[in-house]
Structure 1
Amino acid sequence: MQTDGLYADALLKYSHMKNSFNVYDSSAQRVSGNASTDGFSASLEAGKRFYLNTSRSGFYIEPQAQLTYSYQDKTTVMASNGLRIDLDSFNSTLGRASALIGYNLDEGSKRVNIYVKTGYVGEFAGNLSYSLNGSNEGHSNRGDWWNNGVGMSAQINSQHNIYLDLESSTGSKFNQRQVNAGYRLTF
């Protein structure tokens, strides 16, 4: 973050996912399968924190914007009942415009930040294609939603940080509640 509160954050991520399922079909027969696939994502976020006083502590407003592209490679699942599931590769492009209103308490090496946030998120790609025993199917994840939340972060000292974030997303394709908590060691 620059001294004027402006920041930009870029992120590249590689992922390897392993999935498995064990379910019972309508005949009460157990069906299982597993697969793995690789993927990556790239994200760019920018924002600016505007403090409501000159001491750079206390209340602030922070508008943000983010663009994220993700790709997941294709894979095949052979279910134990003979069903062949071919999942095509998947592309996702998410855009987000949001704002935080928060309070920042800064006492030397100990900093605490408490905030509420709201934002609009749009999925511009997100089309899924798959086949079940050669029968082509598809599903669209395109749509938009509102993401709202409350959270806090605390810098215990120059190396140790903790955070907690509660989020609710409501929109055209799903409703989701999420808790994010973590610890970060800086060295």
Structure 2
Amino acid sequence: MTTIHAGVATAAPAWDPAPGSAATASPPPAASGQVLARAIAATAMALGLAHGWLLVVFPHGLPITLLLAAMVAACLKCAHRAWGGPQALSGLLAMSALMAIVHTFMALGFGGHQHGVHGAATAATAASGAMLAIAAAELALVMLCSIGMRRAFPSGRAARYLV
């Protein structure tokens, strides 16, 4: 059976019984969504540790240190919430997207945060490369969260989004 949801044709969930059958509809086990959410949460925890690594390895001024420390705390908080279930993946997705944007701007030198040398042809340093790698990892986490949300909530159930 195919249904139309927001202009897109989607197949009925595999657990949906055939029309007229005596079987009752029971959703798939929640364990599969829980396992996926925990795998994504573990990835987010690893990124939180990477933030901490950046904070320790590359010296920063007090404002940037406080900003990075707050980012580490937010990352670990969202990872902890996602560990509890796929419902928190939307918050983790939003936080990761915001962090990817912030890290990209920080690596490029906006806001007075400088990684690299000044001049027309700036060479990437280890610090700016690390910041851009973290931004790329955050974007990968955004993708994983969106996949996790899509798989955790079948087409018959709507996921809760922040917007």
More helix by percentage: 2
TM-score by length of 2: 0.20
TM-score by length of 1: 0.19
More strand by percentage: 1
